[in-house]
Structure 1
Amino acid sequence: MLTDTKIKSLKPKDKLYKVADRDGLYVTVSVTGTVTFRYDYRINGRRETLTIGKYGADGINLAEARERLMIARKQVSEGISPAAQKRAERNQIRNADRFCVFAEKYLADVQLAESTKALRVATYERDIKDTFGNRLMTEITTDEIRSHCEKIKERGAPSTAIFVRDLIANVYRYAIQRGHKFTNPADAIANSSIATFKKRERTLTPREIHLFFNALEETQSDFGLKKAVKFILLTLVRKGELVNAKWDEVDFKNKVWTIPAERMKAGRAHNVYLSEQAIDLIVAFQIYSEGSPYLLPGRVNRQQPIASSSLNRVIANCIKHINRNEQLIDDFTVHDLRRTGSTLLHEMGFNSDWIEKSLAHEQQGVRAVYNKAEYAQQRKEMLQHWANKVDEWIKGVDL
């Protein structure tokens, strides 16, 4: 059995040799005099050797080696290979700050509809992993991300380029939120600097929703109008439908707003199922309306609704405020909020019929003849989920 005194007395020889301790522990002495604790064992029919550590002032002592031996013997009794475990831990430390580690953890943990998650995983595998996967989180630069997105754009995929930028940003946010001291290099890249789209194609990303609605609170626009912009995003109604909305159309008990047929594009009454957040906004409208029959009365004549241009003016003023120092967000209109809702709800995996009914879009052809379903319960649950998700994005969660 070994003692510290005996180990210190061991001298190097012409070739490596072993000296046994107890319980399977032994030391090897190299030709240079290095003394190393080791343990041989059998597991699953094979022989393995665990290198426990080097002896000495810059290593471990005999007592520490025996403690580690006991842990290793317990692992073997449980069918765990101590050597394989040690390699895995060493690799984990070596790769701890690599982008691929955080990206794969983020993709595993993020709570999204299966179709949305599958899109993110596929985009990571196709457009990010080979370029940044093995890079350290600290060495990836803003210029590299921008250059990579430009290459994707040049192949004719501007939407994918923006999606890649947002996905990289999300991975960094995921790591930072868990205590890692990284700087997010993607935050310095505005989506508009990668690609812009025709107005009829404009949809907001979750990151833009976060940016816009936080900035909206800082602007000097009318209180009721600022709330109205969010209300349209939550309910997906048309601008004119909200501008002309009256209090006698709202059923607070059943949380539904029924827009009469004469104000609907298709000439049929439309039920808007109100989320808890939408109800809160309507309560705010009550204070704002001061006894007017309209949810959003005009500033001069409270017996008339606001001007049709008011909401787009609020949006334009907020965008101007956001872009006062640099271009961070592209222009959009009230109608683009409906398109945003439709696009993101589809990405979340919700049924197209529920979404189209919520938008009051009329189906065409044979399907329109047979599908008369209202999908009331499904739409209620979907719009509540949508409102919750919008609130998360505004707070900066899961962008």
Structure 2
Amino acid sequence: MPKKAVEIGALRVSRLAKQPGRHAVGGVAGLHLLVKSNGNAAWLLRSLVGGKRKDIGLGGYPDVTLAGAKEAARRSRDLIVQGVDPVEQRRQARALLMAENAKAKTFADCATMFIDAKGDEWRNPKHRQQWENTLKTYAEPVLGELMVRDISLAHVLEVVEPIWKTKTETATRVRGRIEAVLDWAAVRGYREGDNPARWKGHLEQLLPKPSKVSKVDHHPAVPVDEASAFLEALRRMEGMGARALEFLILTAARSGEVRGATWDEIDMDARLWTVPADRMKAKRVHRVPLSKQAIRVLEALPKIEGGKLLFPGAKGKPLSLMSISAVMRRMGLEAVPHGFRSTFRDWAAERTNFPRELAEMALAHTIESKVEAAYRRGDLLVKRSQMMQAWADFCETPVKKGNVVPHARIG
């Protein structure tokens, strides 16, 4: 135990603070004022801790007064008597504080980090922008500055309830994106407990099902019986957009697949269009059999030296989606190009005996059943060739309303 020095008062301490060195101040055994050569002064408690002599810092002078230093020294001595190292305790407290600060992330912080971490998985670059925009518009005004660990059910409801019935599709996407961000934050250790944005067994008990409050808006489509009249009128129109739309109809392809199509994807002799996986929604190669009518569209296209695209737009770049949609608007229709896939699907189901799976394969739809997908290794190209030719022939033949033209089932 250090020898207890003669206790001095605050005035004496203020004078000692101008003299470099270590000064015992009394009152508590081992309490000193350490004055450095640069004039800075601090309180130290010299004591034995676990058999080792240690200097325990108690704070700077004059921020910590003499009375405050004595009180801190007594607390430290009490800890030492209890077998606790004040220095180690303080170090652990600082480490815990640093760890807590490291985990103190706002929702806005986590949303940004989640998008940076997962963004490369999204097929379309626009998905990143959609995530950023919806979260910034709807979630961040409520959740943005909240610590992600503190977000509760009430906060999530404050985001989605106001738009659940008026902007249902947007609200469901926002809810799902909040759930994803909170799940990511939990795995990173930024929050604990259940996810307040989850739907199953949670929000489904508080909010009406989206299907019950919002009618699904399908792409407006040209009715089956009007397909031939539309194609006849379309062929009288000029322009690359009109030709791209005609090819889209005859192949039942998506707009993006047609607008990005290149000549090296086309085998004119085999009457085949092979769309590479990186341009397909399902990320699988898709072979499209070309009807005689589709081949005629390609044969009539101007060949631009060095040009790769079938349907080039301005400056050799792909046509925009609007350039094809504009063709239909000029024809006075509310239908959209993508709607022709529905027209094709209706024709196959209502006017033919072609198997359902053949039409689904022609549309390059993903097979939902994993078992069915495992057994279906081929793409039924020969059978689909017959179906696509029948579709092209139908589109050229005026159909009386109510007239069903069945095609023989292909074995």
Q: Which is greater in Rg?
A: 2
Does the alignment reach a TM-score above 0.5? no
Task: State the TM bucket, normalised to the shorter chain.
Answer: 0.3 to 0.5
TM-score, normalised to structure 2, is 0.42
Q: Which has the higher contact order (CA 8 A, sep 6+)?
A: 1
TM-score, normalised to structure 1, is 0.44
